[in-house]
Amino acid sequence: MAFQILLNIGLAFIWMLLRNEYTMIEFALGYIVGLALLYVLRRFLHFDFYFRRVIAVFKLLILFLYKLILSNVDMIKIVLSPKMDIQPGIIAVPTKLRTDWEVTLLANLISLTPGTLTMNFSENGRTLYVHSIHVPDKEEAIKEIHDSFEKAIMEVTH
């Protein structure tokens, strides 16, 4: 992946030299042309097209924002209801993610989603302990974490 980005930047520089105009706009244009070249040659050069991951990162970011807004709506409902209608508790959520920074990302995502807050890790980092304010819905929450967040994170890293 790092090699492809370097190649892409190199192509942009060559573009700039060929056009004999050294501006940011020309660089961006060269970058886009290089990107298109890499996309066309992706099978020929035996590598995954790296921009796929960049798109996955954007998807993850949008998911993050969307969940943050949902969780705020949820929070406002609870805060403004006259009776505290919550059933809090700590639930264990197993995860398939391996590396440290994947798990950290997942923990951050969980903290910003409706009604959940990461509290602790198990020793091997495979189980997250999550404080939830609606424990009866825990199956649903765990399923959501597995289906949407883990998948989105995996798309970025694999």
Contact residues: another protein, CB under 8 A: 64, 68-69, 71-72, 75-76, 78-80, 84, 86-92, 107-108, 111-112, 115, 117-120, 122-123, 127, 129, 131, 133, 135, 138
For residue 63, give every residue at least 6 positions away whose Cβ sits within 8 Å of its Cβ, in sequence order, or none: 109, 148, 149, 152
Q: Using CA atoms, how far apart are residues 105 and 108, in angstroms rounded to an integer? A: 5
CB of 133 to another protein, least distance (A): 6
Q: Where are the beta strands (DSSP E) in the chain?
A: 89-94, 116-121, 127-132
Count CA atoms closer than 13 A to 158's CA, side-chain side: 10
CB of 130 to another protein, least distance (A): 9
Q: Which of 135, 123, 125, 130 is nearest to 145 (CA)?
A: 130
Q: Phi first, then psi: what are they for 148, rounded to 5°? A: -100, -45
38 or 107, CB closer to another protein?
A: 107
9 or 135, CB closer to another protein?
A: 135
CB of 94 to another protein, least distance (A): 11
10 or 88, CB closer to another protein?
A: 88
48 or 100, CB closer to another protein?
A: 100
